[in-house]
Amino acid sequence: MSFSWWIRFLWVFTAITAFAMPGPGPIPSKYYDLSRYRHFSDSTEYKIASFFKGHHKSGIFNGTYFFFRNDSITQGALGYANFGKPDTLINDDLFQLASVSKTITGVAIMMLQQDGLLLIDDSVHWYIPELSRRNLTIRNLMCHMSGLPDYFYFKTYGPNQSAHLKNADIVVQINQQSERDFAEPGTAYSYCNTNYALLAYIVERLTGMDFRQYARKNIFEPSGMRFTHICNHDSVPLFNYPVQGYDKKRVFSDNPQNGTTGDKGVYSNGVEMFFLDRALRGNYLLNQSSKDLMWTPQVQVSADGASYALGWRVKFINGQKWVFHNGWWKGFRTYFWRCLDEDKGFVVLTNHVYGPFLRTVEMVGLLK
């Protein structure tokens, strides 16, 4: 067991003690009981491992992977968590999920509807009355048909330009934008991170809980995701995380946009995202009608038939329905794919942007 592993374990213990929240990782594997699962066949194991070893050798892949089908699983880690030290990645390392975080937000909104606290066709203005745009519905936000501009490109952050943004700050910024920056809601698909920051803010308004707290109590803990959390860099600085995000060996620094939640910010690993898959295949988090609605295509987004649903993308491959999300944020590229017609899927997490995204159709093919 490496010295680096012990340093990272001690950081987890320190973070939990100091901040009463899961730390940035990694997590001792003893917390994960995977004994009921078996290995894939040797040929499938070899095929999956070779795919990632080949992409690692070419410099495109630096990260971890977790594949599952029925009662079989396989996982692996290649490359470095921190190129400056360097620290070798392990399977349990926590990665920033980037836009894969939107699947968590989608689940949270569907849970509130299931509990009778909202309807997705309600007006956003009912929950955020100070928002100047009054012709939006929650569904518009969830399927990226709001016509809102993306806060990533706003020119001002607030009175303190270096402070982390809060979800409430996004509302203030939207109200300051010119009318020409908005499109008519419900008319066209336009992927926009503003939508999911507002959805998280609605959760906070309805529950009286910070979105980080709500997700931990209602989604992560019930799913057995013991160390998954939404980052709070006011408490745990970004540079303290063992896994750093890189662009061609250049590490990304913190920025004000790291403060918002709902659109990004979840930290997790392959096995805990697999636990989320397990929870979603049952009815503990959401009943079947809620899940069916969440995964019903709302708008087609590409010529190959891919659609956006409610926090998830949807695509049919070889006659099977896949629900998924990919992500990119400050050096992290992430993939969470689940087949609804068969118990199979994969989680791939990377922290080094070099070259193109991994071809997801090829990763789906690894599970044939």
Report domain extents, the chain: 3-365
Rounded (to 5) percent helix, strand, coil in the chain:
35, 20, 45
- Give CA angle at 239 (324, 237), nearest 5°: 85
Helix (H) or strand (E) holding 183: none
Output the six-digit token pair for 170.
Answer: 């996004």
> What pLDDT sits at residue 32?
84
Query: Please, which pLDDT band fits residue 33 given cuts at 50, 70 and 90?
Result: confident
Residue 325, φ and ψ in degrees, nearest 5: -155, 140
Backbone angles phi, psi at 94, to 5 degrees: -95, 130
313 with 337: CB under 8 angstroms?
no
Q: Does the structure show a pLDDT above 50 at 15? A: no
Residues 334/327, Cβ–Cβ less than 8 Å: yes
Residue 160 has what pLDDT? Answer: 58
- Which pair of tokens denotes residue 255? 């920025």
3-class SS of residue 353 = strand
Report the DSSP pairing between strands 266-268 and 229-230. antiparallel
Instruction: Give pLDDT tens digits for 320-368.
Output: 999 999 999 999 999 999 999 999 999 999 999 998 999 999 999 999 8
Average confidence (pLDDT) over 134-160: 87
Return the SS3 of 272: helix
Nearest to 350 by CA among 87, 54, 61: 61
Mean per-residue pLDDT for 23-43?
76
Flag whether pLDDT at 51 surpasses 70: yes
Report the alpha-carbon distance of residue 203 to residue 210 in Å, rounded. Answer: 8
User: Within 10 A of 26 (CB to CB), how many other CB atoms are there?
Assistant: 25
d(CA 254, CA 273): 25
Q: pLDDT tens-digit profile of 264-318?
A: 999 999 999 999 999 999 999 999 999 999 999 999 999 888 999 999 999 999 9
CATH class name, domain 3-365: alpha beta
Residue that has been written with the tokens 């997790």 in this structure = 268
d(CA 128, CA 134): 9
Cβ neighbours of 179 (radius 10 Å): 6
Quickly tell me which residue has 């997801």 as its tokens.
360
CA distance 25 to 10: 9
Task: Work out the pLDDT band at 147, boundaries 50, 70, 90.
Answer: very high
- In this structure, what token pair is assigned to residue 96? 């920033």
